[in-house]
Amino acid sequence: MSGNVTFTKEGAIATVVIENEGRLNALSLPMWRQLRAAFEELGHDRDGVRCIVLRGAGDAFASGADIAEFENERYDVPTARAYGKAIHPALIAISECPHPVISMIHGPCVGGGLEIAGRTDIRICDESARFGIPVNRLGLVVAYAELKALLDIVGPSFAMEMLLEGRIYGAADALRIGLVNRAVPDSELEKEAYGTAKRIADGAPLAARWHKKFVRRLLEPKPLREDELDESFDCFGTEDFRIGYRAFLEKKKPQFKGH
């Protein structure tokens, strides 16, 4: 086994780190399982965590699945299906995590690494970042479960360009097509990512979770149910709402409790 996915918590902000030294943080099969476990554990922490920063160690965000494993783990149709059963739950765990997730992207963010970043809510990169899914060079396709998030972010035209040409995009092009929210100089990436996380953590955590849930739901084609429409008003029954509007009237900074 090579590489690890670990997490730490500092105040209300958690950091998840993808690390596979010497392999541009390529994810081995155990690392995909660790990624899922990390986000599921953090997702259950409703009192202590308000925002998560996802990053790679060293000089890369993540270069995707470890191709060196293919000979033993992903060499035919049955093994590929089994491998997908490890990858897909990890991606789902990120997108369904109730807390806002920021990807802090430095260096290569390609293949499965881009699929991971695509499941986060805000993507911030530096000028050294590189993006793409050049699977056409491997004779592979991106499975439905892995492609949906990319399609939602950049739309069918740029998704097709990326997949058919196998293009690698720099930070400026990634910003132009909407793949990232912000691109900053290398020296400012950490400050920008954690500054964003702090602004989120200072806000009302219940409202943040509701907004994440609402945006995901509105991307689904089926009509909203009456109970879903009614949920939009549940925030008025929270202690955080009372704290927020009283602080506004008193011109104070609100100290939200998450209740």
Q: What is the mean pLDDT of each run of 10 residues along the chain (259 residues)?
A: 90 97 91 96 95 97 84 84 89 96 97 96 98 90 90 94 94 97 97 98 95 93 94 95 94 92
Token pair 């470890």 in the structure block, residue: 66
**pLDDT for res 1:** 55
Q: What is the pTM of this model?
A: 0.93
**pLDDT for res 83:** 85
Q: Which residues contact 234 (CB under 8 A, 6 or more apart)?
A: 210
Q: Kindly report, as residue ranges, where domains of CATH 3.90.226.10 are found in the chain.
A: 4-200
Q: Residue 197 corresponds to which tokens in the numbers above?
A: 């996380």
* Element (DSSP H or E) covering residue 124: strand 122-126
**pLDDT for res 69:** 80
**pLDDT for res 73:** 80
User: Does domain 4-200 match CATH 3.90.226.10?
Assistant: yes
Nearest Cα residue to 74 out of 64, 59, 62: 64
**pLDDT for res 184:** 98
**pLDDT for res 66:** 78
Angle between helices 205-218 and 239-249 (to 10 degrees): 110
Sign of CA dihedral 122, 127, 128, 133: positive
| Residue 57 DSSP label | S
Sign of CA dihedral 83, 73, 20, 161: negative
Token pair 């290569």 in the structure block, residue: 108
| Structural contact between residues 88 and 111, judged by C-beta atoms closer than 8 angstroms | no
**pLDDT for res 171:** 97
Nearest Cα residue to 57 out of 9, 32, 81, 22: 22
